Structure 1
Amino acid sequence: MYLETTMKHRLKAIFYSFAVQLVLLHFKKFQILLIFWLALFGAVSGNFMASFGVDSLYLSPEYLGTVNALSAGIVGVSVAIFIMSWNITTFILFCRHFRFLATTTRPFLKYCINNAIIPVIFLGYYFFHAVNFDLHKELLSLSDVLALTGGFLTGFAVIVFLSFGYFFGADITIARNMISLDTSPLALHKGVRPHIVLNSGGSRLIKVTTYLSGRLRVKAVRDVTHYSKEFLESIFSRHHFAAVLSIFIAFVFLMLVGFLLDYEMFQLPAAASITIFFAILVSVAGAFSYFLQSWSVPFVVVLIVLLNILYRYGVIDPTNKAYGLNYGKQIQKAAYSAEHLAALNTPEKMAADSAAMIEVLENWKKRQAVEKPRLFIINVSGGGTRSATFTMGVLQKLDSLCNQQLMRKTFLITGASGGMLGAAYFRALSRERDLGQPVRLQDQRYFDDISKDLLNPTFSSFVARDLAAPAQKFKVGAYEYVKDRAYSFEQQLNKNTRYLLDKELSALQEEEKQALIPTMIFNSVITRDGRKMLISTHPLSFLMKPAGDAGLQLDGDPDAVDFAALLQKQDPMNLRLLTALRMNATFPYVLPNVWLPTEPVIDVMDAGLRDNYGIETAVRFIHVFRHWIRENTSGVTLLQIKDRKGGGWEHPFESKAISEIVTKPLLLLQLNWHKMQQYNQQDQLGMISDLLPGAFNRISFQYLPEKEEMKAALNFHLTQREKIDIRHALDNQVNADSFQDFNKACFNAGN
């Protein structure tokens, strides 16, 4: 009986302790602040924005291209800033609910100690996942993992100690103010009714009997009823200015980072930038709640309406541009209308453009060793860096199998997203070799180049530039643009690919025309109506709608648009190759949609939205030039490089919870989109096979992970284990058979 009573008292004491009551208070009031904690927990566990690779940004942070104690330390600093921001904000919001702290020395320190349950749980959760991730996915040694842990804790501790040192000054001021008072409150002895704080409505909010002191000792709260409410609030308000000042300093720091982001040392790990931004958002949300009280929601609604008005009338312009195009107001915008699109693909124009392309085909044929060569077309799939890396690996091996002649034998390369990044880099390397540069295309370093991180600089720029300092500009030729995360993405891609892609389309025009390099057609999707935007150095009106009987098609209703023809007055050949690649790979949210100078304004995004495999463009091209192909080649070999297994059996869409009965109709299309594309494209390939009987074949290469659960993520960041898995996938039995088929096609079919 005694033990039962004692246990009940202890449990009651724990429940009414300041630490536990604070946790309950967070769930009772201002729950919006917990959303940021939920995002951090989800990011670390991989449940929040998993497809964007956010977990790797936190668990294996990169700084200056390496993962080390310094990079982990910077993330530790950012997490400490977030925790201190959360402590400061909630301290200001909740101080009226625990006025007994005003009678203690260093009340903010005691608040942070008692408010540490959620931060401590998060830190434990973080280290658990970080150690597991670094050991098993980044394949780091135990000593390296310990170094990362030590770096994180060092950075974390530095900020915590600096913060407390900063606030101790305010605490000393509080103590001095209290000396002038007759401070003789009775201690709250055992059995005396604890002080119960009431909110403005008179309801009981929290009940506190004990708290943890600065030395982590349990102490009873003091009765503060003999102090005036105004005096206690004036004491707490002394912290408010210091708190707001500290958050302002954090925001200014983030702005400075944004302005200095071109200097490599200021390119902080993306996780650090995101977390510091969260810290600022916490303080902003707290400020709204503190100053506006019940007017917070109406104020936000009015603010959104005002921003929409300013955007509508062009006062603010957060849109991203295609670097190289002329957006000047003195140039008439291109009309995006049914009539104008119809004028771009008249029979006369299509005939002229087809004749120009046949000239390029003839130039390609002259460079082949036989009278009727095999025409190779390369299709690459979307899939972020995993697709770019797998594409590079496949092309390296194909090139070695055909005596370094792959790019000479290939006429067309097309596809989506990441695959085009790898293909463009390989084409550039091949051209460098042809020009006499010491390039060995099978070198491992080129595989490593394209697999390097693109996510960190993009996310860092999103926080530091797009949100904090969107005022810097740069030039492409005579045209000026705002630096944002798209610019950072292009700059990092440029660096990763040894600056070989740093050129405008005009620089490639003559080489493609003479067939010195394969023609590349970059695709993107117009969000306004789903039409495909085709970017090339060649006129492409013949690809704007399906070939065949015009009577079966709607007049003036093409389903694709020739970029250069549409924007002929906007200097289309000045477009950066890097920008064309980015437009082709505009991963939703990671990269901004690209807005074009048309009337009405249109924007484009990732090619994978309509054709993730590049089949549609290739099939249409073959259909248009089928007569020339029959007369001048031994046939077409379509080399398809995919970042996923075909057949539609992987990742079936299953209902495992009752809630999915509601969400399944909404997610059905999204989760099966790529599979539906595959089914449709099988029909297209079948029709091409009938058009070229016995003269068409497809050789498919697929990234098949060794273990499905270890498959490389669909984003712009790869772990070490994922890079190794992609390398191993080149040698699996499926791809080994495909390489053998290619070998036969290369040497036994007229080449």
Structure 2
Amino acid sequence: MFEEVNLLFFCTCFLPGIQYIRGAITMFRTLYFFFPKVYYSFPVQLLLNNFRRTQVLLLCWIIVFAMITGNFGKYLGIPYLFLDPEYLNRVNFTSFFIMGAVTAGFTTAFHITSYINDGHRFSFVGTLPKPFTKFAVNNSLIPFVFLAIYLYEIIVFQVNNEYRSQYGLITSVAGLLTGYGMMTLVFYTYFRLTNKDIFRYVVCRIDERLKSSVKMTRASAIKKLDIARKKQVRVDYYWDRTRFKPVENISFYDKATILQVFDQNHLNLVIIELFIFALVLVLGLFKDNPVFQLPAASSFVIFLTIFVMLSGAFKYWFGGWSATVGLILFLVVNYLVGEDFFSRKYEAFGLNYNTYPAEYNIRSLQHLNDSAHQEGDRRVTLIGLKNWRKKFGEEKPKMVFLCVSGGGKRAALWALSALQRADSLTNGALMKQSILVTGASGGLIGASYFRELKLRALLGEKIEPYAAVHRDRIATDNLNPLIFSLMASDLFVGFTQ
């Protein structure tokens, strides 16, 4: 009886603890065997490789992440360009379709640059069917997270700020995903038709000697071949379609042949990059056509895409010297900018450029500010005031000074609307009694616009200064053409007009 009590006491007190310890041991064993599989998987190793070697690409991703989440340029309205893109003065399926397409292009440029610069560190990829596609799929952790957050931010913004209906919200999301999917499909089809795996490569060149092929590769291939042989990144599993597959032993493959597979893929990727450059140049020729004036955010993404490709090419060709060469290039460009080498002539509307330009220096400014000029200005102003008073036939007519505030497009629309309303209520007396219009920024644009309308009506033109069409015109988007012109024209000084 006593032994049974002791056994019961032991089971009651210690058995749960033993079971807990066994469970903990089992969990740690599972983590012990599971962690290496995750850590040495291809997606994780590519992510770590991006942090180690491609900080410039990560910086580009950080910028767009910060923009869509409102952590960069919020007070300038930059996030709204991504969350509510406007195309041809409309936010609709087409505007989001364009955003999806350029986002897919930026993602593809990221994959291309990573593949060209670091693909040789993962030699097993060269032995797989469709190597670039496999590489891109496993390199999609960052793009996938970005796309998910982008969709979330769009939905939140459209619901909470734009009060979009369910149909409008579905249309916007469908436009983004359709553009992203179609552009990705175009790139995938091209790579599927052009890129070769190691088996197709060997079959196509079975009659050529390997040594002669190796001699024809670029000088940088020597370093890449050394990396392919000695400095490989360990990868145990890679994602293929619907599941992870173990990496097979590739020791029996010749590293030089694998490297040539990468080189053949690189050529096709360079063709894509050249196509994007050419497309931007062609679009620049039609920058004055509203159809080609893409949403401002998409123009910025295209600019980032070009920057990513240039940085990748720079690192690929100069390798460890890329930082030094980049610094030298920066100093050279900075010097040329100081010498006005890249300057283009922009003519201000209303100025006569057929005469000799006025001097602009300290001496000329002091001359214009001397007592004689001040007295001349005073006399001219006095004559103008007397002529203004003669219009009313009274000694002290009411004099109105207009002052408008700045604030960009909103201030311009507000100033125009307020002046239209006030002048119409006074039967035109407001502008007739006004002697001066002053202010800043957008408000002056609206005031100048209304003043021009009144002047043309006074000169006999068939124009209605108070019509709503003028408010629609001044509220029309002009950021898209400005940003697009900056990207497609000013970015390539000397190539476009």
Q: Using the alignment, how far apart are the partners of 1:320 and 1:92 within structure 2?
A: 40
Question: What displacement does 1:287 show?
Answer: 0.8
Matched AA of 2:387: N
Note if 1:59 corresponds to 2:86.
Answer: no
Aligned counterpart, 2:12: none
SS at match of 2:287: coil
Aligned counterpart, 2:3: none
Closer/same/farther in 2, CA of residues 14 and 360 from structure 1, 3 Å limit = same
Contact 1:211 1:220 in 2 (8 A): yes
Is the strand fraction higher in 1 or 2?
1
Aligned counterpart, 1:122: 146
Among 268, 271, 280, the alignment partner of 1:245 is 271
Deviates more, 1:304-313 or 1:241-250: 304-313
Note if 1:41 corresponds to 2:65.
Answer: yes
Write out aligned runs for 1:175-194 (5 A): 175-178=199-202
Contact 1:254 1:468 in 2 (8 A): no
Note if 1:288 corresponds to 2:314.
Answer: yes
TM-score, structure 1 as length reference? 0.57
Among 29, 33, 50, the alignment partner of 1:9 is 33
Write out aligned runs for 1:346-745 (5 A): 346-368=370-392, 370-435=394-459, 441-468=465-492, 470-473=494-497
Q: Using the alignment, how far apart are the partners of 2:393 and 2:159 within structure 1?
A: 52
Aligned counterpart, 1:345: 369
Matched AA of 1:350: Q
Q: Using the alignment, how far apart are the partners of 2:464 and 2:357 within structure 1?
A: 45
Note if 1:299 corresponds to 2:325.
Answer: yes
Deviates more, 1:428-437 or 1:285-294: 428-437
Note if 1:254 corresponds to 2:280.
Answer: yes
Question: What displacement does 1:208 show?
Answer: 1.5
Closer/same/farther in 2, CA of residues 105 and 32 from structure 1, 3 Å limit = same
Matched AA of 2:453: L
Closer/same/farther in 2, CA of residues 244 and 201 from structure 1, 3 Å limit = closer
Q: Deviations over 1:661-700 (max 9, x none)?
A: xxxxxxxxxxxxxxxxxxxxxxxxxxxxxxxxxxxxxxxx
Q: Using the alignment, how far apart are the partners of 2:453 and 2:339 within structure 1?
A: 46
Aligned counterpart, 2:234: 207
Question: What displacement does 1:117 show?
Answer: 0.8
Question: What displacement does 1:427 show?
Answer: 1.4
Contact 1:14 1:20 in 2 (8 A): yes
Note if 1:275 corresponds to 2:308.
Answer: no
Q: Deviations over 1:446-487 (max 9, x none)?
A: 3343233221111111101110365444xxxxxxxxxxxxxx
Question: What displacement does 1:311 show?
Answer: 3.8
SS at match of 1:322: coil
Contact 1:258 1:469 in 2 (8 A): no
Closer/same/farther in 2, CA of residues 102 and 342 from structure 1, 3 Å limit = closer
Q: Using the alignment, how far apart are the partners of 1:198 and 1:20 within structure 2?
A: 24
Aligned counterpart, 1:157: 181
Contact 1:310 1:316 in 2 (8 A): yes
Contact 2:128 2:197 in 1 (8 A): no
Contact 1:75 1:152 in 2 (8 A): yes
Aligned counterpart, 2:250: 224
In structure 2, runs of 5+ residues without a counterpart are 1-24, 207-223
Question: What displacement does 1:68 show?
Answer: 1.5
Matched AA of 2:381: M
Question: What displacement does 1:332 show?
Answer: 5.2
Q: Deviations over 1:409-436 (max 9, x none)?
A: 1110012111111111121233344456
Contact 2:225 2:256 in 1 (8 A): no
**What RMSD, in angstroms, separates the aligned Cα atoms of the two structures?**
2.8
Q: Using the alignment, how far apart are the partners of 1:95 and 1:201 within structure 2?
A: 9
Q: Deviations over 1:607-633 (max 9, x none)?
A: xxxxxxxxxxxxxxxxxxxxxxxxxxx
TM-score, structure 2 as length reference? 0.84
Is the helix fraction higher in 1 or 2?
2
Q: Using the alignment, how far apart are the partners of 2:466 and 2:342 within structure 1?
A: 48
**Higher normalized contact order (CA 8 Å, seq sep 6+, divided by chain length):** 2
Deviates more, 1:243-252 or 1:442-451: 442-451
Q: Using the alignment, how far apart are the partners of 1:299 and 1:354 within structure 2?
A: 59
SS at match of 2:195: helix
Matched AA of 1:79: T
Closer/same/farther in 2, CA of residues 292 and 337 from structure 1, 3 Å limit = same
Aligned counterpart, 2:9: none
Closer/same/farther in 2, CA of residues 399 and 100 from structure 1, 3 Å limit = same
SS at match of 2:46: helix
Contact 1:18 1:212 in 2 (8 A): yes
Among 125, 138, 142, the alignment partner of 2:162 is 138
SS at match of 2:406: coil
Q: Using the alignment, how far apart are the partners of 1:438 and 1:350 within structure 2?
A: 40
SS at match of 2:399: strand
Q: Using the alignment, how far apart are the partners of 2:338 and 2:329 within structure 1?
A: 14
Matched AA of 2:157: F
Closer/same/farther in 2, CA of residues 178 and 124 from structure 1, 3 Å limit = same
Aligned counterpart, 1:662: none
Closer/same/farther in 2, CA of residues 17 and 471 from structure 1, 3 Å limit = closer
Contact 2:120 2:228 in 1 (8 A): no
In structure 1, runs of 5+ residues without a counterpart are 183-196, 474-751
User: Computing the radius of gyration over CA atoms, which structure comes out larger, 1 or 2?
Assistant: 2
Aligned counterpart, 1:109: 133
Aligned counterpart, 1:96: 120
Aligned counterpart, 2:336: 310
Question: What displacement does 1:318 show?
Answer: 4.5
Aligned length: 456
Matched AA of 1:207: R
Write out aligned runs for 1:313-332 (5 A): 313-318=339-344, 320-323=346-349, 325=351
Note if 1:235 corresponds to 2:293.
Answer: no
Q: Using the alignment, how far apart are the partners of 1:375 and 1:268 within structure 2?
A: 46
Q: Deviations over 1:272-316 (max 9, x none)?
A: 222122111111101111110121122122223323443444443
Matched AA of 1:375: M
Matched AA of 2:47: V
Question: What displacement does 1:205 show?
Answer: 7.1
Among 93, 97, 107, the alignment partner of 1:83 is 107
Matched AA of 2:413: T
